Amino acid sequence: MVKVKVNDIEVDAGPKDNCILAARKAGVEIPHYCWHESLSVVASCRMCLVEVGETKPDGTIAMGPKLVPGCQTPIKDGTVIRTDSPKVKAAQQMTLELLLLNHPLDCSICDQAGECYLQDYTYKYGKAHSRLDEPKLQRMDKYHIGDQIALFTDRCVMCTRCVRFTREISGTAELQVVARGSHEEIDVFPEEPCNNKLAGNVVDLCPVGALCSKDFLYKKRVWWLKQAESVCTGCSTGCSISIDQNENKVYRLRPRPNPEAQGHFMCDEGRFGFKYIHDERRLSTPRLSVALASGIESQRKTTSANFAPDLNFADLWPTALTKARQKIQDAIKADPSSFVAVFSPFMTVEEAYLLAKFIKGIHDKARLVLGPVPSVGVDDKYPKGPKGESPADGNVKFTIRAEKCPNRLGVEAVLKHFEGSVVRIESIAQRPNAHAWYIVGGYTSGWVTEAIDKAIGTPSLLIVQDIFPSPLSERADIVLASGSFAERDGTYVNHAGLAQSASAAVRAPGEARADGRILMELAGRTGLFNAMALRKEIGAAIPELSVLGSGDLGDQGVRLVRFAKQATAAAT
Amino acid sequence: MSDSEFKPVLLGRVGRPNSQTLASYRADGGYEALAKALKMANTEVIDVVKASGLRGRGGAGFPTGLKWTFLPKDVKGPIYLCINGDESEPGTFNNRVLIEEDPHQVLEGIVISSFATRSTTAYFYLRYEYGRCYRVLKQAIDEMYANNLLGKNILGSGYDLDIYLHRGACAYICGEETGLIESLEGKRAWPRIKPPFPAIEGAFRRPTVVNNVETMACIPHIMKHGPEWFQTMGIPKDPNNPRDAGSYGPKLYCISGHVNQPGLVELPMGITARELIDKHAGGVWKGRSAKAVIPGGISMGFMSSAELDTPLDFNGPGRVGCLGLGTAAVVVIDDHTSMVDVLYNACRFFAHESCGQCTPCREGTAWSTKILERIREGRGKLSDIDTLLEISASIGTIPGTTICGLADGAAWPIKTAINKFRGEFEEYIKSGRRSESPVLAGAH
């Protein structure tokens, strides 16, 4: 720790901090554009100019004669940083005036308005008027930068964060600076657009409205968006994300910086892969088969031969869940070892715990198995080399994992506790003595393979809790329409044993319900689903998940004990 | 030594028949200095250069021997020497003459300097426009390889050196040493942030020394005649200023602009601008008088007619508000020329050549050009003058707002022109006149 003074505020900073980080610890903002924690330092935007001095042994302070960029200037014991002197303020005003010289000031039609550092800094540190009398430079917008990326050239402040990202993080180097002086522009080579799997990050990195996501462009003003802190469920990396929604519709996902999970970024697969949650084909109401529904009155008509007409609105869930509970209990009591509950690796730890506890509470012999774990190819590591080769192990800055589910480890921990070991559905499906199934889906797309479909066949009891129709849900006795990741509260454990909490951003479509709520009622537990209370219960009940016991996992999550030991061993 | 008895040193062989060939260079005592140096220890060579007080001729005037001592002592792996032949300061053409007319003099200096700095590879960065220089150098280097002056075991000393010729791509910024290194590495010539300085981490992330062509040309003479001989020329150290390193040795002055005999002359350091113009350039043309003189390339700013008795050594121009001696490219502007036009031309050059990395330089140079363009169209305002001054005060390494000195070079013409000719600017704006005069050659 080194002691520095920022505008007369004494603060302990890290020895490797620069002035910006040290000032941040003192609660002082040093405005900056080009500097980014995970990119190299170029010190070119000159927004972070500060005065720096040192404390002499006799206690006097000697300030340096020049302004220095806060991003490039290291600190040591006794460093004095001033961000509020007239000299610094004049430099900030000048830099902002210069940056705005050729800026079109089209905030009213700019996607970035509201989260734009040019707006924010001009408001805080700039001045109201420009002295430019001459016409501004006008440059062509470039919609061809990438399949997902458009460049509004004249809004660019040439911080080159995007260029450095493609060179240092993705390693694909599509973006570059062309031309010189004030005519400089960001561009790609002809026919070589920026379409790498991490390309969407340049939109987040862009501090102004120059690089915009085509997917989000003109869809929503950002000040209407509400954020929910969640976890990407696209792969087992488990990127910390923020789900931006308005009026129950998700507009975009953005990475939340989390050094424990993934760093500052996320992949495009995750970023743009949320669209399925608003798919019209999603299951939106619980269903009972004709046989089960006999005797229940209904005024509505059915469209399916298998299913009874929709239940009356008020009776919908209570009827379905009462029937389900009763059928499960009957089936387990008749022959416990022929009952199989299938857990999806998309379930949260809380949901897996609720279901496992419920089933095992009826009879210890009822079986719990892990559903299919989707996996595509091999882990995709970045930065790529010049020929697209993967980096050496020590140099990996981002990994898109082959395991395309968020919580295999968490569900496995629950299964191990209740079942003793993790049994995969692939092995149990071949054994013929399973006559009653409770199957949880929640996969992002069709997951019922022909083999699984055939193995399950037409059992005496089939209850499906899923978000999309499948061959199984078509012939199920009871279908429980459940929630996607954006609709769930809960905990996910990523590939490295990091348990992160996610919160729901939107409601499930129609009458569908988040899984936690379904399982609470199914298990006959009173009260509302409360992830934090459940985490405390799980922490006490399952030793491997003891770290969940605090209930609150914070912004960055906590690591399971077994993995924390590994991480310490790796560090030492 | 007075001017009249001064015999050109660096230009001594210029103009002789076949001055570019190795045979003729050897006949004039060439490569004797190299043979002498190779018998010494490399630190002794550095000591000789240090003792001579030779300061870099590229513009900043940093003591050459001192620069060499900044290289880390026990370094494993290669050290590089880069020769800055990207002579792009407007009005400067001394490197060109040295290379075209006497390439072996420069190359001998390079071999000695490489030996002194323990470099086994030297990169000669040559500005693209110098096609003839390239051909002459290439031929000279081939001759050297054929005669064991380059390659393995030079002159039986056990010292190996390779020289690579590298042509730039017409950018002013490549004359900045770290911009040159980036360009050499095949990247966009964006100057690097310092520290680390090139001596610690330069070309290809190795310790690197960057020296100017004229500096290299001085080295063989220093080795041959000794440091004391070198110090017989020029202006000695100012005893009252402990930080002054003196201005020793011969210097090439490029004289251009409105004079009767533009050209390159070699003189001991410290001649005054007036003497240079009157004695060595045949006076101002058409019987006019000089209104302003650029002492060392446009980036150094302007001297007014009242300041012509300033000695052109490393300290002189600084005393009259100029940035420094620069490249000693003296450009004379006669009293029929509008300073508004001259300044416009200067600003246009820097706006064109700003690499665009740092915001203040990228936008400031373009903005000042736009303002001057408007003034020249007759739509100037008196407040423009102060805006120009504010821009010039807020760009550059001296206020600390940019990475390299290009912005200082862009700011100084504005500062000096307005401070020294403010009345002319005000009168121009008030008159509402429109400038039709053609702009000076040089900027494009």
pLDDT digits (tens, 9 = 90+) for B346-402: 999 999 999 999 999 999 999 999 999 999 999 999 999 999 999 999 999 999 999
Overall average pLDDT of the B404-432 stretch = 96
Could you report how far apart the first and last alpha carbons of chain A are, in Å? 20
Q: Which of residues 341-400 of B touch A (CB under 8 A)?
A: 351-360, 362-367, 370-371, 373-374, 381, 383, 387, 390, 394, 397-400
Contact A49 B359 (CB under 8 A): no
Residue B432 has pLDDT above 90, yes or no: no
Overall average pLDDT of the B310-334 stretch = 94
Of A219-228, A385-394, B233-242, the range with the highest mean pLDDT is A219-228
Overall average pLDDT of the B420-433 stretch = 94
- Euclidean distance between CA atoms A527 and B227, whole angstroms: 94
Tokens for A237, please give them: 């990396």
Contact B371 A134 (CB under 8 A): yes
Overall average pLDDT of the B329-356 stretch = 95
- Euclidean distance between CA atoms A15 and A13, whole angstroms: 6
pTM for the model stands at 0.93
Contact B403 A43 (CB under 8 A): yes
Q: Which residue has the higher pLDDT, A148 or A313?
A: A148
Overall average pLDDT of the B277-294 stretch = 95
pLDDT at B443: 42
Percentage of chain B with pLDDT > 90?
Answer: 89
In this complex, the residue of B352, B359, B373 whose CB is nearest that of residue A98 is B359
Q: Are A315 and A323 in contact (CB under 8 A)?
A: no
How buried is residue B241: exposed, middle or buried, by Cβ count under 10 Å (0-12/13-18/19+)? exposed
Tokens for A300, please give them: 């509505």
Residue A313 has pLDDT above 80, yes or no: no
Q: What is the dihedral of CA A260, A264, A266, A267, to 10 degrees?
A: -120
Q: Which of residues 65-94 of B touch A (CB under 8 A)?
A: none
Query: B145 to each of A271, A490, B125, B154, B163, how far by Cα in Å?
Result: 59, 74, 19, 9, 10
Q: Which residue has the higher pLDDT, A456 or A412?
A: A412
- Listed residue (B97, B96, B99, B101) closest to B109, CA to CA: B99
pLDDT at B4: 63
In this complex, the residue of B363, B381, B399 whose CB is nearest that of residue A98 is B363
Dihedral sign, CA of A19, A20, A21, A27?
positive
What type of residue is B174?
C
Nearest CA to CA, how far is B185 from chain A (Å)? 16
Strand A367-370 and strand A2-6: the pairing is unpaired
DSSP A74: B
Percentage of chain A with pLDDT > 70?
Answer: 95
Q: Residue B164: what are its φ and ψ, rounded to 5°?
A: -110, 130
Residue A104 has pLDDT above 90, yes or no: yes
- Euclidean distance between CA atoms A398 and A382, whole angstroms: 5
Overall average pLDDT of the B13-29 stretch = 93
Q: Please name the residue that has the structure tokens 């912005």.
A: B407
What is the secondary structure of B355-403 as a DSSP string?
Answer: -S-SHHHHHHHHHHHHHHHHHHTT---HHHHHHHHHHHHTSSTTTT-SS
Tokens for B204, please give them: 């290809």
pLDDT at B264: 95
Q: Which residue has the higher pLDDT, A401 or B442?
A: A401
Could you report how far apart the first and last alpha carbons of chain B are, in Å? 41
Beta strand spans in A189-313 (E): 211-213, 226-231, 240-246, 249-255, 287-288
Buried b (16+ CB within 10 A) or exposed e, A96-115: bbbbbbbbbeeeeebbbbeb
- Euclidean distance between CA atoms A12 and A498, whole angstroms: 28
Confidence grade of residue B273 (pLDDT, cut at 50, 70, 90): very high
Cβ contacts of A191 within 8 Å, gap of 6 or more: none
- Listed residue (A113, A109, A108, A103) closest to A138, CA to CA: A103
Q: Which of residues 154-173 of A touch B (CB under 8 A)?
A: 157-158
pLDDT at B8: 93
Residue B263 has pLDDT above 60, yes or no: yes
Contact B366 A181 (CB under 8 A): yes
Tokens for B438, please give them: 């053609």
Overall average pLDDT of the A270-296 stretch = 86
Residue A430 has pLDDT above 90, yes or no: no
Contact B401 A157 (CB under 8 A): no
Residue B100 has pLDDT above 50, yes or no: yes
Q: Please name the residue that has the structure tokens 């066949």.
A: A457
What are B119-171's pLDDT values in tens digits?
999 999 999 999 999 999 999 999 999 999 999 999 999 999 999 999 999 89
Instruction: Give A99's contacts in chain B (Cβ within 8 Å).
Output: 359, 363
Overall average pLDDT of the B229-255 stretch = 91
pLDDT at B26: 95
Mean pLDDT, chain A, whole residue set: 91
- Euclidean distance between CA atoms B145 and A302, whole angstroms: 94
What are A431-450's pLDDT values in tens digits?
667 889 999 999 998 888 88
Percentage of chain A with pLDDT > 90?
Answer: 82
Query: Any idea which of A75-84, A170-179, A561-570, B197-206 has the lowest mean pLDDT?
Result: A561-570
- Listed residue (B328, B276, B437, B300) closest to B94, CA to CA: B328
Residue A383 has pLDDT above 80, yes or no: yes
A49 has a chain B CB within 8 A of its CB: yes
Dihedral sign, CA of A386, A389, A390, A392?
negative
pLDDT at A170: 95
Percentage of chain B with pLDDT > 70?
Answer: 97
Helices marked H in A503-560: 515-522, 531-541
- Listed residue (B296, B305, B109) closest to B209, CA to CA: B109
Overall average pLDDT of the A123-137 stretch = 92
pLDDT at B323: 93
pLDDT at A454: 86
Q: Bridge partners of B244? A: none
B18 has a chain A CB within 8 A of its CB: no
Tokens for A355, please give them: 């279901």
In this complex, the residue of A49, A90, A184 whose CB is nearest that of residue B356 is A184
DSSP B83: E
- Euclidean distance between CA atoms A55 and A62, whole angstroms: 6
Confidence grade of residue B5 (pLDDT, cut at 50, 70, 90): confident
Helix (H) or strand (E) holding A558: strand A558-559
What are A23-49's pLDDT values in tens digits?
999 999 999 999 999 999 999 999 999
Quote the ipTM score. 0.92
What are A484-526's pLDDT values in tens digits?
999 999 999 999 999 999 999 999 998 899 999 999 999 999 9
In this complex, the residue of B193, B356, B383 whose CB is nearest that of residue A180 is B356
Chain A and chain B share a number of CB contacts under 8 A equal to 97
A129 has a chain B CB within 8 A of its CB: no
